[in-house]
C-alpha cells in the first residue's frame, strides 16, 4: 500500500492524505464512475485516520470529522466500527483490487446491460415492484383493520 | 312438531355452514371472545378485499403485457403467473377464514417478486464476473474477501430461510409451493437456482440441506432448512466467520454448540474455525468471564483462549493459511461464484451500500437507470395505472388506543409468524418453522396457539400474568381486558406483551415482522444464551458479565423476559436506574416499568469497564449530556427533574445498537434522546413500542442487509391522532438515530435498486429533508425528514470528509498533509517536485 521508503508515521500520513484528498475531495464527482478506486482508497482514509492519531498537531474536530467519515465508509463493506484499522485496510484493499480487476474486464458489459433493459423488461419490472408494494399494503391493512375493530370492541366494554 | 324438526335442522345446517365458512383463524379467535373473533373477521374481510384488487391487477397486467419475447421477459412472466396462482390460493383461504395461509401466500409472493427483480440486469450494479482469484490474490486477501462475502451473503441465507418457512406453512395448508418454485426454477429464478448459487459460493452445503449433491425440489424439506443454524446448514468455514460477524452473537454460540457435538463437521479447518468463531464473539465485546461460563453448555473447553491470535487481521491470515493448506482452488471457485452470481445476493447488497456511499460523498445520482426506474417513467404503461386500482393504505382513526394496537397484533401474530423465524438467527426452537410444525400451528387442522417463548420461559405463558402485564402497560382495567379475552389471546401467541406491542407498531407501519421478531428473540435458540439469561434470573450474574450482555447485543426482548424481575433489577441497577417495576420491565421488554435514570449517578465501574466505557464518569457525561442546552421548562417537558430522567430508557434498544458495533456512549445518548423526545411528545407505550420496533429493524438491517427490509416501511395513514403522532415521531427518531445508517444501507441494496434510486435522489450528501418518502400532513410524513437525517454518519459523510480534509491543520488544509505547503501537498515535503 505504501512505498517501502515511507517508514515514518508522518510520511505515511502525508501519502495517505494526498491519496484521500485526490479521491474524496478533488475527484469526488467521479466516485460513482470509479467505485472500485473509491473502495481501494478508503484503505488510505483508514491509514490517514490511524496515523493522525499519532499527530499531536491534529485538532480534535478534525479527528472527529475523520472518524465520522471512517464509520460511514466502513458501512459500505459492513465493516464493524469496532474493527481494527489493519483489518479494515485489508478488506478495503482486497475489495478494491477485486473491483478494479472486474471493472477492467466488464467495462463494456454495462452498455450491453443497459441495452437489455428493453421496454418489455422495464414494464414488467415496474409491474412486479407495484405488485410487491400492493401486497405489503394489503398485509398492513389487515392488521390495521383488526386494530380498528378491536378498538370498537374496547369502546363497547368501557 | 314438523315445524320444530325443520327449525332444528335449519339451525344445525346454519351452525355447520357457519363453522365451515368461518373455519380456522376466525373460529379460533371467536372461541376466545366475540371481540377477538370480530377483529379476526375484520382482518379477513379487509385482506379479502385487498387481495381481490391485487388479483385483478395481476390479471390486468397479464393481459396488458402480452407474451414476452426475451428470455428475461419470459421468466418475469412466469413469476407474475405464479404470483397470480398464489394470490388465488390466498383468496380461497380467506373465504374459509384461513388468514394464516393467506398471509403466508402473500409473503411468499413478496419474496418471489424480490427474486424476479434481482434477476434483471442492473447497469448501476457492480459486476464482479471474470476475476481470477487464484491468480491475483494472496491467501490473506482471499480470507478478507471471504469474510466480506460471508457478511453480505448471510442476509440472502436468511431470506431463503424465510421463504422456505413460508413454503413449509403453505405446503401444510395444501398449496403446491414446491410446484410454484419448480416453475420458477425452470426459468432460473426460483429457490433451487438460489440454493445452487449459495452452495457453489460455500454459504450452504447441499448435502447438509437436501441430503444429496444436487438440489432436488421433491426431496427438499423446506421446514427443516428454514430452521437450521449456520453450522447445521454446512456453511464453509471462511464464509461462516464473516457471516457470524454480521449475525447476532447467539448465532455464533448456536454454531459452536453444533460443532462441539459434531467436531468432524469442519474437517481440517476445525481448530482454526472454532478459533475464528470465538474471535467473532470476542470482537463483538464478549469477555473471558462470559466465555468461560458458557463452556459447559456449549461443550467446549478453553474457549477464552481460542480467540488468541484469531482476531482481526491475524485471524484472516490464519484462515488464509488454513485455506492454502487445503488448496486455494476450491476457495477461489467459491469466491468467484459468491461475488459474480446474482442469485447469491452479495453483488446486489454490495452494489447498494457502495453506491450509497459514492452517491453520498459525490452528491450525484448514477447516470444509468435501472429497469424499475425506466418502467416507472414509461408513459401510458399498465404499471402506472396499477396503483390507482390497487389497495390503498387504510387510514387509522384518531381514537385508536394502545390496547387496540396490541389486540390487532395478537390477531395477526399467528398469520404473520406461521412460517417461523429463520434458524440462522438462533431463535427459540418453538419459533422456528419446525417448531411451528410440531406445535400444530400449520396444517389442515391447525391448533390455536404458538409455542413461542414457552420453551425458554419454563412452560406455557400464563394468561393471568399476561393480563397483569398488559394492564400495567396500557392502563386498561383488568375486568374489561378479561371480557375482551385479551389475556388469553396474548397467552396463545406465546409472545410477551412487549413483543406483541412491538409487533403491533411494526405491523401497522409496514415493517418486516419476521425481521423485527427475529432480532427480538435472537440467540435464545442457543443453550449457552439461555444459560446466561437463567444466571441473570437467579441473580448470580456479575456486573461485568451484564456489561458484556449489553455490549454484544444480547439484551433483547426475549432475554429480558427470560431474565425476569430479578435479572432486570440487577441490570437496570448496574446501569444507574432506580425504582420502577422490574417484573413489568421484563414482560414489556423494557418499554415500561424501567426506573428513573439518575444523570448524576455513576454506572457500576465493572459494568462500565466491560462495556469499554469510562469508569467514574456520570451517566449524563457518558451519554454526552442529552439535556445540554435545555432550559428548565424544556427539561421538565422531556421528563427530567433534579437530574433524574423519568421512565429511564429502554436497555434493549441500547444493547441492539451496541451489538452492531456502535460506540456505547453514542448508543446511550441516542436512546436517551429518543426517550426524552418521547416524554416531551407524550408518546407513551405506542411511541416506546415503535422505538423498540425501529431498533429491532435496525439490528436486523445490520445482520441481514437489504433482505431485512422486505416490506414497505413508511406506510402512510398512521393517523393524525395522538398515537399516530407518537409513532411517527418515534419512527423519525429511529431513522435519525445511530441505527439509521444501517437501515439506509440495507434499503439501498433492495432488489431492483428501487430504494437505491430513491436514496440517490435525496440530494447532496443525503441531506434533503422531506425527500423521497415525505408526505406532509401525515404523521408518517416525518419519514421524509427522517430519511434526510439518515443515521448521522451517513448524512454527514460528504461534509465530514471534506471538512476534515479542508480545515486548518487538517490533512487537506493549509500546512496539513496533502494540503498546500503541508507534507504530501504542493510544495510540501511529499511533493515530487
Candidates B666, B828, B383; CA nearest to A129 is B383
Looking at residue B739, what is its pLDDT?
80
Please indicate, yes or no, if residue A155 is contained in any of the structural domains: yes
Average pLDDT over residues B621-645: 78
Question: Which residue of B103, B374, B405 is in closest CB contact with A147?
Answer: B405
Please indicate, yes or no, if residue A143 is contained in any of the structural domains: yes
Question: Which residue of A76, A77, A138 is in closest CB contact with B51?
Answer: A138
Of A112 and B539, which is predicted with more confidence? B539
A20 and A93 in a common domain: yes
Residue A7 forms contact with B (CB below 8 Å): no
A133 and A61 in a common domain: no
Residue B107 forms contact with A (CB below 8 Å): yes
Residue B761 forms contact with A (CB below 8 Å): no
Q: What is the pTM of this model?
A: 0.89
Nearest chain B residue to A107, by CA: B127
Q: List B644's β-bridge partners, or say none.
A: B598, B641
Residue B819 forms contact with A (CB below 8 Å): yes
What is this model's ipTM? 0.93
* Summary count for chain B: helices (H), strands (E): 43, 4
Is pLDDT of B786 > 70? Answer: no
Residue B272 belongs to what H/E stretch? helix B270-283
Show the cell assigned to A71: 464509520
A61 and A130 in a common domain: no
Task: Flag the least confident range among B6-15, B549-558, B578-587.
Answer: B6-15
Looking at residue B775, what is its pLDDT?
34
Candidates A81, A137, A128; CA nearest to B58 is A128
Give how far A13 is from chain B: nearest CA, Å: 7
Spatial distance between the Cα atoms of B431 and B408, rounded to a whole number of angstroms:
20
Average pLDDT over residues B798-821: 52
Looking at residue B403, what is its pLDDT?
96
**Structural contact between residues B730 and B678, judged by C-beta atoms closer than 8 angstroms:** yes
Looking at residue B5, what is its pLDDT?
52
Is pLDDT of B566 > 90? Answer: yes
A128 and A50 in a common domain: no
Round the average pLDDT of chain B to a whole number and report it.
84
Looking at residue B494, what is its pLDDT?
94
A128 and A59 in a common domain: no
A121 and A98 in a common domain: no
Of B299 and B445, which is predicted with more confidence? B299
Of B462 and B829, which is predicted with more confidence? B462
Looking at residue B825, what is its pLDDT?
41
Average pLDDT over residues B359-386: 88
> Which segment, B138-147, B268-277, B635-644, is predicted with the most confidence on average?
B138-147
Spatial distance between the Cα atoms of B167 and B105, rounded to a whole number of angstroms:
8
Average pLDDT over residues B376-388: 88
Looking at residue A139, what is its pLDDT?
96
Please indicate, yes or no, if residue A77 is contained in any of the structural domains: yes
Looking at residue B787, what is its pLDDT?
39
- Considering only CA atoms, give the Rg of chain B: 27
Contact across the interface for B741 and A133, Cβ inside 8 Å: no
Please indicate, yes or no, if residue A112 is contained in any of the structural domains: no
* Summary count for chain A: helices (H), strands (E): 6, 0
**Structural contact between residues B480 and A154, judged by C-beta atoms closer than 8 angstroms:** yes
Give how far A91 is from chain B: nearest CA, Å: 5
Is pLDDT of A119 > 70? Answer: yes
Looking at residue B710, what is its pLDDT?
65
Is pLDDT of B400 > 80? Answer: yes
Spatial distance between the Cα atoms of B58 and B51, rounded to a whole number of angstroms:
10
Average pLDDT over residues A99-113: 84
Is pLDDT of B654 > 80? Answer: yes
Q: How many CB atoms lie within 10 A of CB B146?
A: 30
Looking at residue B782, what is its pLDDT?
37
Residues A16-72: tens digit of each pLDDT: 999 999 999 899 899 999 999 999 999 999 999 999 998 888 888 888 888 888 988
Average pLDDT over residues B39-49: 97
Tell me the pairing of strands B640-641 and B644-645.
antiparallel
Domain that holds residue A137: 117-158
Q: Which residues of A touch B88 (CB under 8 A)?
A: none
Spatial distance between the Cα atoms of B708 and B587, rounded to a whole number of angstroms:
25
> Which segment, A2-11, A59-68, B42-51, B713-722, is predicted with the most confidence on average?
B42-51
Round the average pLDDT of chain A to a whole number and report it.
91
Question: Which residue of A71, A129, A141 is in closest CB contact with B393?
Answer: A141
Of B320 and B11, which is predicted with more confidence? B320
Of B504 and B783, which is predicted with more confidence? B504
A69 and A39 in a common domain: yes
**Structural contact between residues B512 and B111, judged by C-beta atoms closer than 8 angstroms:** no
Average pLDDT over residues B299-320: 84
Contact across the interface for B152 and A106, Cβ inside 8 Å: no
Is pLDDT of B585 > 60? Answer: yes
Mutate to test the interface with B, among A143, A148, A152, A157 (most CBs of B within 10 A): A143
Q: Which residues contact A152 (CB under 8 A, 6 or more apart)?
A: B38
Spatial distance between the Cα atoms of A153 and B406, rounded to a whole number of angstroms:
13
Looking at residue B779, what is its pLDDT?
33
Spatial distance between the Cα atoms of B833 and B817, rounded to a whole number of angstroms:
16
Spatial distance between the Cα atoms of B778 and B784, rounded to a whole number of angstroms:
11
**Structural contact between residues A153 and B30, judged by C-beta atoms closer than 8 angstroms:** no
Looking at residue B827, what is its pLDDT?
39
Is pLDDT of B414 > 90? Answer: yes
Q: Which residues contact B675 (CB under 8 A, 6 or more apart)?
A: B639, B645, B647, B648, B649, B650, B691
Is pLDDT of B791 > 50? Answer: no
Is pLDDT of B66 > 90? Answer: yes
A132 and A93 in a common domain: no
Of B778 and B696, which is predicted with more confidence? B696
Average pLDDT over residues B245-260: 93
**Structural contact between residues B340 and B153, judged by C-beta atoms closer than 8 angstroms:** no
Question: What does the DSSP assignment read for B492-545?
Answer: HHTS-HHHHHHHHHHHHHT--HHHHHHHHSTTTTSHHHHHHHHHHHHT---HHH
**Structural contact between residues A39 and B354, judged by C-beta atoms closer than 8 angstroms:** yes
Distance from chain centroid for Cα B56: 31
Cell 419490472 found at: A125
Looking at residue B268, what is its pLDDT?
61
Residues B199-223: tens digit of each pLDDT: 999 999 999 999 899 999 998 999 9
Spatial distance between the Cα atoms of A35 and B629, rounded to a whole number of angstroms:
41
Q: Which residues of A touch B41 (CB under 8 A)?
A: 149
Looking at residue B797, what is its pLDDT?
58
Looking at residue B798, what is its pLDDT?
57
Task: Flag the least confident range among B38-52, B134-148, B435-449.
Answer: B435-449
Residue B301 belongs to what H/E stretch? none
Q: Which pLDDT band holds residue B165 (cuts at 50, 70, 90)? A: very high
A83 and A13 in a common domain: yes
Provide the 8-state DSSP code for B396. P
Is pLDDT of B664 > 50? Answer: yes
Please indicate, yes or no, if residue A72 is contained in any of the structural domains: yes
Q: Which pLDDT band holds residue B738 (cuts at 50, 70, 90)? A: confident
How many structural domains comprise chain A?
A: 2
In percent, the amount of chain B with pLDDT more than 70 equals: 85
Q: Where are any strands of DSSP class E within B594-653? A: 596-598, 640-641, 644-645
Residue A60 forms contact with B (CB below 8 Å): no
Is pLDDT of B289 > 60? Answer: yes
Q: Which residues of B touch A140 (CB under 8 A)?
A: 393-394, 507-510, 711-712, 715
Contact across the interface for A75 and B152, Cβ inside 8 Å: no
> Which segment, B78-82, B297-301, B322-326, is predicted with the most confidence on average?
B78-82
A121 and A102 in a common domain: no
Average pLDDT over residues B256-269: 78
Average pLDDT over residues A112-118: 81
Of B618 and B1, which is predicted with more confidence? B618
A53 and A2 in a common domain: yes
Show the cell assigned to A1: 500500500
Nearest chain B residue to A29, by CA: B362
- Which CB contacts under 8 angstroms, 24+ apart, belong to A153-157? A153/B34, A153/B35, A153/B38, A153/B39, A153/B407, A153/B484, A154/B35, A154/B401, A154/B403, A154/B404, A154/B407, A154/B476, A154/B480, A154/B484, A155/B399, A156/B35, A157/B35, A157/B480, A157/B483, A157/B484
Please indicate, yes or no, if residue A111 is contained in any of the structural domains: no
Looking at residue A65, what is its pLDDT?
85
Looking at residue A112, what is its pLDDT?
77
Average pLDDT over residues B802-823: 50
A132 and A56 in a common domain: no
Residues B75-122: tens digit of each pLDDT: 999 999 999 999 999 999 999 999 999 999 999 999 999 999 988 988
Looking at residue B818, what is its pLDDT?
45
In percent, the amount of chain B with pLDDT more than 90 equals: 50
Spatial distance between the Cα atoms of B359 and A33, rounded to a whole number of angstroms:
10
Amino acid at each position: 500500500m505504501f512505498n517501502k521508503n515511507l517508514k515514518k508515521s508522518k510520511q505515511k500520513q502525508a501519502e495517505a492524505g494526498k491519496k484521500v484528498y485526490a479521491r474524496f475531495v478533488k475527484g469526488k464527482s467521479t466516485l460513482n464512475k470509479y467505485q472500485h478506486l473509491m473502495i481501494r482508497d478508503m484503505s488510505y482514509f483508514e491509514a490517514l485516520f490511524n496515523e493522525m492519531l499519532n499527530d499531536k498537531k491534529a485538532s480534535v474536530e478534525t479527528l472527529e470529522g475523520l472518524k465520522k467519515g471512517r464509520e460511514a465508509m466502513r458501512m459500505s463493506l459492513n465493516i464493524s466500527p469496532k474493527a481494527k484499522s489493519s483489518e479494515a485496510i485489508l478488506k478495503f484493499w482486497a475489495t478494491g483490487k477485486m473491483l478494479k480487476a472486474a471493472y477492467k474486464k466488464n467495462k463494456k458489459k454495462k452498455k450491453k446491460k443497459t441495452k437489455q433493459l428493453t421496454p418489455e423488461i422495464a414494464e414488467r419490472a415496474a409491474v412486479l415492484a407495484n405488485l410487491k408494494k400492493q401486497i405489503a399494503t394489503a398485509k398492513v391493512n389487515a392488521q390495521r383493520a383488526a386494530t380498528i375493530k378491536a378498538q370498537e370492541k374496547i369502546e363497547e366494554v368501557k | 312438531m314438523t315445524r320444530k324438526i325443520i327449525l332444528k335442522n335449519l339451525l344445525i345446517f346454519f351452525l355447520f355452514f357457519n363453522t365451515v365458512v368461518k373455519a380456522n383463524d376466525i373460529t379460533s379467535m371467536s372461541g376466545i371472545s366475540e371481540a377477538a373473533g370480530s377483529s379476526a373477521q375484520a382482518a379477513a374481510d379487509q385482506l379479502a378485499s385487498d387481495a381481490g384488487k391485487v388479483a385483478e391487477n395481476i390479471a390486468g397486467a397479464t393481459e396488458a403485457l402480452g407474451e414476452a419475447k426475451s428470455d428475461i421477459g419470459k421468466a418475469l412472466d412466469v413469476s407474475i403467473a405464479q404470483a397470480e396462482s398464489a394470490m388465488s390460493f390466498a383468496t380461497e383461504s380467506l373465504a374459509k377464514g384461513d388468514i394464516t395461509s393467506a398471509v403466508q401466500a402473500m409473503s411468499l409472493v413478496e419474496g418471489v417478486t424480490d427474486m424476479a427483480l434481482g434477476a434483471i440486469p442492473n447497469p448501476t450494479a457492480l459486476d464482479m464476473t471474470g476475476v481470477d482469484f487464484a491468480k491475483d490474490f494472496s491467501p490473506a486477501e482471499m480470507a478478507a474477501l471471504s469474510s466480506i462475502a460471508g457478511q453480505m451473503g448471510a442476509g440472502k441465507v436468511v431470506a431463503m430461510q424465510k421463504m422456505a418457512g413460508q413454503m413449509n406453512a403453505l405446503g401444510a395448508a395444501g398449496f403446491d409451493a414446491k410446484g410454484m418454485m419448480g416453475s420458477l426454477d425452470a426459468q432460473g429464478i426460483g429457490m433451487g437456482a438460489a440454493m445452487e448459487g449459495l452452495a457453489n459460493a460455500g454459504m450452504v452445503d447441499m448435502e447438509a440441506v437436501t441430503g444429496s449433491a444436487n438440489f432436488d425440489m421433491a426431496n427438499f424439506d423446506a421446514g427443516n432448512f428454514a430452521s437450521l443454524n449456520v453450522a447445521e446448514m454446512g456453511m464453509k468455514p471462511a464464509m461462516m466467520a464473516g457471516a457470524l460477524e454480521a449475525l447476532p452473537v447467539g448465532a455464533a454460540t448456536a454454531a459452536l454448540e453444533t460443532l462441539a457435538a459434531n467436531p468432524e463437521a469442519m474437517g481440517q479447518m476445525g481448530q482454526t474455525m472454532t478459533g475464528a468463531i470465538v474471535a467473532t464473539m470476542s470482537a463483538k465485546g464478549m469477555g473471558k468471564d462470559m466465555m468461560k461460563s458458557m463452556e459447559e453448555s456449549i461443550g467446549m473447553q478453553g474457549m477464552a483462549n481460542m480467540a488468541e491470535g484469531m482476531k482481526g487481521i491475524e485471524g484472516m491470515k490464519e484462515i488464509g493459511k488454513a485455506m492454502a493448506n487445503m488448496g486455494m482452488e476450491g476457495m477461489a471457485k467459491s469466491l468467484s461464484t459468491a461475488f459474480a452470481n446474482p442469485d447469491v445476493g452479495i453483488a446486489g447488497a454490495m452494489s447498494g451500500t457502495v453506491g450509497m456511499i459514492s452517491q453520498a460523498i459525490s452528491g450525484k445520482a448514477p447516470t444509468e437507470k435501472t429497469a424499475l426506474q425506466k418502467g416507472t417513467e414509461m408513459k401510458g404503461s399498465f404499471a402506472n395505472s396499477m396503483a390507482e386500482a390497487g389497495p390503498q393504505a387504510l387510514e387509522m382513526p384518531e381514537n385508536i388506543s394502545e390496547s387496540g394496537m396490541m389486540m390487532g397484533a395478537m390477531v395477526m401474530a399467528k398469520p404473520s409468524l406461521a412460517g417461523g423465524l429463520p434458524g440462522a438467527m438462533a431463535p427459540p426452537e418453538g419459533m422456528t418453522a419446525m417448531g411451528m410444525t410440531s406445535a400444530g400451528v400449520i396444517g389442515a387442522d391447525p391448533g390455536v396457539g404458538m409455542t413461542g417463548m414457552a420453551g425458554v420461559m419454563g412452560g406455557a405463558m400464563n394468561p393471568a400474568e399476561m393480563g397483569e402485564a398488559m394492564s400495567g402497560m396500557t392502563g386498561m382495567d383488568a375486568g374489561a381486558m378479561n371480557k375482551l379475552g385479551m389475556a388469553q389471546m396474548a397467552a396463545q401467541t406465546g409472545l410477551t406483551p412487549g413483543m406483541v406491542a412491538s409487533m403491533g407498531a411494526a405491523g401497522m407501519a409496514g415493517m418486516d415482522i419476521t425481521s423485527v421478531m427475529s432480532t427480538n428473540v435472537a440467540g435464545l435458540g442457543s443453550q449457552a444464551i439461555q444459560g446466561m439469561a437463567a444466571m441473570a434470573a437467579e441473580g448470580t450474574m456479575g456486573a461485568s458479565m451484564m456489561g458484556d450482555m449489553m455490549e454484544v447485543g444480547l439484551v433483547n426482548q426475549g432475554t429480558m423476559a427470560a431474565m425476569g424481575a430479578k435479572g432486570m433489577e440487577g441490570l437496570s441497577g448496574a446501569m444507574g436506574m432506580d425504582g420502577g417495576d422490574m417484573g413489568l420491565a421484563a414482560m414489556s421488554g423494557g418499554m415500561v416499568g424501567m426506573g428513573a435514570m439518575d444523570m448524576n449517578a455513576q454506572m457500576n465501574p465493572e459494568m462500565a469497564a466491560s462495556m469499554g466505557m469510562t469508569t467514574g464518569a456520570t451517566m449524563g457525561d457518558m451519554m454526552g449530556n442529552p439535556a445540554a442546552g435545555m432550559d428548565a421548562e424544556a427539561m421538565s417537558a422531556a421528563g427530567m427533574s433534579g437530574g433524574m430522567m423519568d421512565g429511564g430508557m429502554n436497555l434493549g434498544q441500547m444493547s441492539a445498537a451496541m451489538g452492531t458495533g456502535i460506540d456505547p456512549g453514542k448508543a446511550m445518548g441516542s436512546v436517551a434522546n429518543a426517550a426524552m423526545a418521547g416524554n416531551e411528545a407524550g408518546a407513551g407505550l405506542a411511541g416506546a413500542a415503535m422505538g423498540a420496533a425501529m431498533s429491532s429493524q435496525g439490528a436486523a438491517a445490520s445482520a441481514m442487509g437489504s433482505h431485512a427490509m422486505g416490506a414497505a416501511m413508511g406506510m402512510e395513514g398512521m393517523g393524525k391522532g395522538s398515537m399516530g403522532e407518537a409513532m411517527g415521531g418515534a419512527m423519525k427518531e429511529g431513522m435519525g438515530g445511530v441505527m439509521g445508517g444501517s437501515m439506509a444501507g440495507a434499503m439501498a441494496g433492495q432488489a431492483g435498486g428501487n430504494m437505491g434510486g430513491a436514496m440517490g435522489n435525496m440530494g447532496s450528501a443525503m441531506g434533503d429533508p422531506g425527500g423521497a418518502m415525505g408526505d406532509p400532513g401525515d404523521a408518517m410524513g416525518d419519514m421524509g425528514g427522517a430519511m434526510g437525517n439518515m443515521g448521522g454518519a451517513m448524512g454527514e459523510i460528504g461534509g465530514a470528509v471534506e471538512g476534515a480534509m479542508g480545515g486548518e491543520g487538517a490533512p487537506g488544509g493549509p500546512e496539513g498533509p496533502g494540503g498546500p505547503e503541508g507534507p504530501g501537498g504542493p510544495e510540501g515535503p511529499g511533493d515530487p517536485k
